[in-house]
Amino acid sequence: MYNSASNLKASVSVIALTASLLFVAACTQDTETGGTTDQDDRTVVSEAPELSTTEEAEAAPEPVQQIIVTSQERKANASVAYDMVAGMPPGDVLPPKPNVNPQDTERYEDVDPNPVKLVSEEPVSTFSIDVDTASYGVMRSYLNDGTLPPKDAIRVEELINYFNYDYPLPEDRSKPFQPSVQVYETPWNADTQVLHIGIKGFDIPTAERPPLNLVLLLDVSGSMDQPNKLPLLKKAMRLLVNELGEDDTVSMVVYAGAAGTVLEPTKGTEKTKILAALDKLDAGGSTAGGEGIRQAYSLAKANFVDGGVNRVLLATDGDFNVGIADPERLEDFVARERESGTFLTVLGFGRGNYNDVMMQKLAQAGNGNAAYVDTLNEARKVLVDEIGGTLFPIAKDVKLQVEFNPAQISEYRLIGYETRILDRTDFNNDKVDAGDIGSGHTVTALYEVTPVGSDALLSDPLRYGSTQDEAEDASNELAFLRIRYKLPDEDESNLIERPITRADVLETFDSAGEDIRFAAAVAGLGQLLEGGTHTNGLTYAQIVEIAQGAKGDDPFGYRAEFIQLARLAESAATLPVLER
């Protein structure tokens, strides 16, 4: 139908992301129409979903089409896809996208590890729980490429919480978890101890899960046209679709240069219809992520299910470059929308331009969680094996507070949770947002503590003023634990309290259970990867030894994989090889 660039302009309006009009002609000379693929494997999708907001343009002589150039052609011509839609005056061309080998523009928040604190000066530690696991997937992606991840990409608590631990389960949903506490000798410093706090959320039986109103918000912009991005995303969504039931409803919004709905609310049992809409998706264009989020929340609100779970699932590389792209503005929008009862799950894909800062801010603001999908196996873990924790909340605004006894503990350091620290007064303020726990989720928090009289004390005693040297406390309490949480449909928090006593102290590290020791190994690796400021000579070989001895029952091989990653970290390069 189109034999030259001039005929193309005369037939339909063009949104072109290219560096050369000659490439337009080359891409369109041999293309056949009718929703098929030509001999060069160039995909042509007829009657593609109208994503433009200029539908009022009435005079398009041909059906709306979207031509997606193959990745081979992009590499050969150093260009990108063209989206041909009605609504722009003939000849209008957007600026060219960057070449196919852009500079690494990944963004991670610059956060230093938590410092050691004096109990006499600051006895209370308060933070929001975190069930995200995105940092683990990013770490794995780098190590499998033979490169150490950026230090700022490591959030130790997300590495620890990637794994499931056998903590006691609560009896019912009214009290969705109960804390488990143990204290043991620090494996990297014999003069300090680790305070291990674990909770496991109530696991909702599959037959009792509430109805799900799910809006899939999928990034189909040009930056997603890589094998580990949109193709992997589509495979991941197929796994999720297979888990939907007759009481579930799914909708689909996509965004590139603009955003639009490609699947109206559809019953979870209509899998053929859902998968057909998914299969039609191709990548091309800039990234109007902000508008996509707005439309997704609007669709979720229009189909809100009282007594059910209403959730937006955003799958993207986070490279928002059109419309609202500022993380702070998007965070404010999502934070306001969560008040409507719609939560957010964020799945990250790809490397090179991955915006971890954006993903974390959106997940935290949206009463949701974030994961990074680098393999199909990870997609299965998040969307099949752990779907309850990913999509079905059992508690929200969960906060932990530990008050240390200065007569027993001189110093402490919270391992991880740097982006989740709260003020002491935030703990009792129900207006302050905090983390959420899904069905069956486990959450672990570790403190390294220095007992009174230990040689590991880092702070010199004060020359002037009162000290704790003469403090007398007959109790055997090391600390006191408080947990606040709200049930998903409540606005007032509930309180759980528990003293931490000498009865919780284990004689040796080796006497700790496998879960406890394995979590310590993971914490050790995370701290080494973020700089090893407080690991006191710990080596990768020691981490492997601890993890190997604590692998235990490992039906899915996640712990065995961790051991291999620890081995890779020892030999990984500090910087990737420069591509030429």
Instruction: Retrieve residue 235's tokens.
Output: 């495979």
Q: What domains appear along the chain, each with residue ranges and CATH number?
A: 5-83 (no CATH), 117-204+394-459+471-571 (2.60.40.1230), 206-391 (3.40.50.410)
Question: What is the pLDDT, as a whole number, of residue 579?
Answer: 53
pLDDT > 70: what percent of the chain? 77
Question: What is the pLDDT, as a whole number, of residue 160?
Answer: 98
- Interatomic CA distance for residues 47 and 513, integer angstroms: 59
Q: Hunting for tokens 């398009």 — which residue is that?
A: 60
- Model confidence band, residue 52 (pLDDT cutoffs 50, 70, 90): very low
- Interatomic CA distance for residues 97 and 221, integer angstroms: 11
Question: What is the pLDDT, as a whole number, of residue 482?
Answer: 97
Question: What is the pLDDT, as a whole number, of residue 66?
Answer: 37
Question: What is the pLDDT, as a whole number, of residue 337?
Answer: 85
**Rounded alpha-carbon distances, angstroms, from residue 119 to 107, 123, 212:** 35, 4, 46
Please write the tens of the pLDDT for every residue from 101-121. 345 688 899 999 999 999 999
Question: What is the pLDDT, as a whole number, of residue 563?
Answer: 98
- Interatomic CA distance for residues 354 and 352, integer angstroms: 6
Question: What is the pLDDT, as a whole number, of residue 577?
Answer: 63
Residue 308, Cβ density class (10 Å: 0-12 exposed, 13-18 middle, ≥19 buried): middle
Please write the tens of the pLDDT for every residue from 294-316. 889 999 999 999 999 999 999 99
Question: What is the pLDDT, as a whole number, of residue 465?
Answer: 58
Instruction: Retrieve residue 29's tokens.
Output: 């000379």
Please write the tens of the pLDDT for every residue from 15-36. 333 334 333 344 444 433 333 3
Could you tell me which of 567, 444, 512, 521 has the C-alpha nearest to residue 164?
444
Has this prediction a pTM greater than 0.85? no
Question: What is the pLDDT, as a whole number, of residue 324?
Answer: 57
- What type of residue sits at position 245? G
> Facing residues of 344 across strands?
312
The span from the first CA to the last CA of the chain, in angstroms, equals 39
Does residue 285 carry a pLDDT above 90?
A: no
Question: What is the pLDDT, as a whole number, of residue 339?
Answer: 85
pLDDT > 90: what percent of the chain? 62
